[in-house]
Structure 1
Amino acid sequence: MTDLPASPLPDPHALPDRLAQIRDEFLELPEPDRLQLLLEFSNELPPVSDEVAAHPEMTERVAECQSPVYIYLEVADDAVTMHATAPAEAPTTRGFASILAQGIAGLSPDEVLAIPDDFPQSIGLTRVVSPLRISGMTGMLMRAKRQVRARLAA
């Protein structure tokens, strides 16, 4: 009887390339500079599509965020797009929305669902922003995954 090598298990902390790049960008910086990078992301939040802008009722409020953040995830041709709105007056929250929107763009539904739930804690901001803000980003990610599951079930 021959012993076959065990097939490697998928790494539960593996990230899609774009999210891994974003995480690494943060972790390469000293902690004080990470907040500045988050603020830069806040200026890069992709605009929502014309359809979502014309029909804001399509979006879901992220209750975990203190600021009014609304998201809508679209699945088309096996690619996910995250539409998000967040006020300019809430740059950290807007930055988190931008990170997720940019990091999720173009992923397959399975790749989105495989994003580790602790991704918000992995980017090195837990000592730079309040736990409430990290909780808000976690809420965005959980709602995004729930919406993808709902789109797949429909």
Structure 2
Amino acid sequence: MPPKKLDEIIEEFASAPRDLVLEMLLEYSDAVPPLPAELVGHAGMEQVPECQTSFFLRAEVTPERTVQTWFDCPPEAPTTRAFAGILAEGLAGASPEEVLDVPDDLYQRMGLAQAISPLRVRGGTAILARLKRQVREQIG
């Protein structure tokens, strides 16, 4: 199962009135924590070329078997940054298995396909796919 916190976020969006979905999404653009000093400049991060904006990510499975995530996306791309904020908040403290159980159609389940362009949904889907691939590679 995906992490409980992410399930709550999905449900919150799925049950929201359509006219509020975009506004709710943009609130998550502020939920992206700053990069630690060693990742500034994107050292050790993977770029997501499917995003229209410069977007970098890194997932690390800790010795405690939780997944730590880092994202970097410019503030002038609030929608894409919001995807990172949703994942940062929804996956905080998640196990590798919980991350791998996140549905690939996450953004459609949230009702975002009706609120934002297909190109942005595709970028968000690519972010999730790369994140899951990084986790899968680390757990063997």
Does the TM-score normalized on the shorter chain lie above 0.5? yes
Distance 2:48 2:16 in 1: 29
> TM-score, structure 2 length as denominator?
0.93
**Residue 36 of structure 1: how far off its partner (Å):** 0.5
Q: Is the 8 A contact 2:31 2:88 kept in 1?
A: no
Question: Which aligned segments of 4 or more residues in structure 1 are displaced greater than 3 angstroms?
Answer: none
> TM-score, structure 1 length as denominator?
0.85
Distance 1:106 1:135 in 2: 26
Q: 1:66 aligns with which of 31, 43, 52?
A: 52
SS of structure 2 residue aligned to 1:88: coil
**Residue 24 of structure 1: how far off its partner (Å):** 1.5
Q: Which residue of 2 aligns with 1:21?
A: 8
When Rg is computed on C-alpha atoms for both structures, the one with the higher figure is 1
Q: Which residue of 2 aligns with 1:150?
A: 137
Distance 1:114 1:24 in 2: 16
**Residue 44 of structure 1: how far off its partner (Å):** 1.5
**Letter in structure 2 aligned against 1:91:** P
Q: Is the 8 A contact 1:46 1:102 kept in 2?
A: no
Aligned residues: 139
* Higher relative contact order, structure no. (Cα contacts within 8 Å, ≥ 6 residues apart): 2
1:107-122 correspondence runs (5 A): 107-122=94-109
**Letter in structure 2 aligned against 1:74:** E
1:28-43 correspondence runs (5 A): 28-43=15-30
Distance 2:56 2:139 in 1: 20
Per-residue Cα deviation, 1:102-153 (whole angstroms, up to 9, x for no partner): 1112111111111111112110111110011111110000000110012223
Runs of 5+ unmatched residues, structure 1: 1-13
Percent identity of equivalent pairs: 44
Q: Which residue of 2 aligns with 1:10?
A: none
Distance 1:117 1:39 in 2: 21
Larger CA deviation: 18-27 vs 78-87: 18-27
